[in-house]
Amino acid sequence: MPASASVSSLYHRVSRFIPPAEWMGFEDDIAAILDLKKKRNAVILAHNYQTPEIFHCVADIVGDSLALARRAVDVDADVILVAGVHFMAETAKLLNPGKTVLIPDMEAGCSLAESITPEDIALLREAHPGVPVITYVNTSAAVKAASDICCTSGNAKQIVEGLGARKVLMIPDEYLARNIARQTDVEIIAWHGHCEVHELFTADDVRQLRENYPGVRVLAHPECPPDVVAEADFAGSTAWMSDYVASEKPGRVVLLTECSMSDNVAADNPDVEFIRPCNLCPHMKRITLSNIRAALEHNQHEVTIDPTVAVDARRAVERMLAI
């Protein structure tokens, strides 16, 4: 398909991150995706960790897990394509049961989602009777269904305190649970799941960054280990990091999170210098322009959820959205 002038005009958004020769290889897929979205009345939800040609050139709704979950509630389209990992597509399906939800690669998983099963939650409930289970959205629908309520990194403290309990189980991210525990009087029992991207950052990395880049402002995701968060200037969700850079305009900043996030935020903040230690999420990187195009062309891969699981999982997500 010949690339249109409007596709070529998208390049200015991403030209600092994508060399011209690489962009030429993207134009045909971008033109086809924009066309297929119209034909199929489809929208693309893209997580902050998607690469710039997806995030800035074909996505309709972008953000962190919470933003995508919220915006997915009132998407006016027949088809929702999720440029993200499988649990995000399941969440979109939970909130839009009547719509077709597609994910370009069924193997796009998550180390946190895979760290816990509904059977593990049953054992935790036996060991801690009456203690409510708060589940991070980075989990399967089956795990959400076995929980009382969901949370994201952006609203975790609010959910922990909003339940009115003295003790809660917060699963599956150990580091998120321990980082929130430092901010509240509610006793938090954690699980041992970790994000394979954020667990790689160390407190030594932060000290080294400060030495090498004087004046750098360090923003850490709360899935990082607690000693990393303690060394950082601020900790918060990806949406919060994005807002922080836009409003504070630090001269020099480092985002301790997935690699593509810096490119996506830098595109909107050309005056800020981004230092980029690069930890890639291999699951997020399974999503490409070419498999997005194939997904829309061939209606693949449709995400479905067992209806009995969906009722309970939806209740846990909607309870979170209500708070």
Residues in touch with ligand SF4 (CB under 6 A): 85, 110-112, 138, 195-197, 258, 281, 283-284
Residue placing its CB nearer to ligand SF4 in the complex, 50 or 111 = 111
For the bound state, the minimum distance from the C-beta of residue 185 to ligand SF4, rounded and expressed in Å, comes to 27
* Least distance from ligand SF4 to the Cβ atom of residue 301, Å: 17
Helix (H, G, I), strand (E, B) or coil at 57: coil
Of 114 and 161, CB closest to ligand SF4: 114
CB of 152 to ligand SF4, least distance (A): 11
Nearer to ligand SF4, 3 or 143 (CB): 143
Calpha distance 106→103 (Å, rounded): 6
Task: Output 3 or 197, the one with its CB closest to ligand SF4.
Answer: 197
Collapsing DSSP states into helix, strand and coil, what is residue 24? Answer: helix
Contact 34, 7 (CB under 8 A): yes
Spatial contact of 235 and 206, defined as CB atoms under 8 Å apart? no
| Cα Rg, the chain, nearest whole Å | 20
Given the complex with ligand SF4, which of 251 and 282 has the nearer CB atom?
A: 282
Smallest gap from residue 290 Cβ to ligand SF4 (A): 21
What distance in Å separates the CA atoms of residue 37 and residue 79, rounded to the nearest whole number?
Answer: 9
Contact, 68 vs 94, CB < 8 A?
Answer: no
Distance (Å, whole) CA 81 – CA 43:
6
CB of 289 to ligand SF4, least distance (A): 19
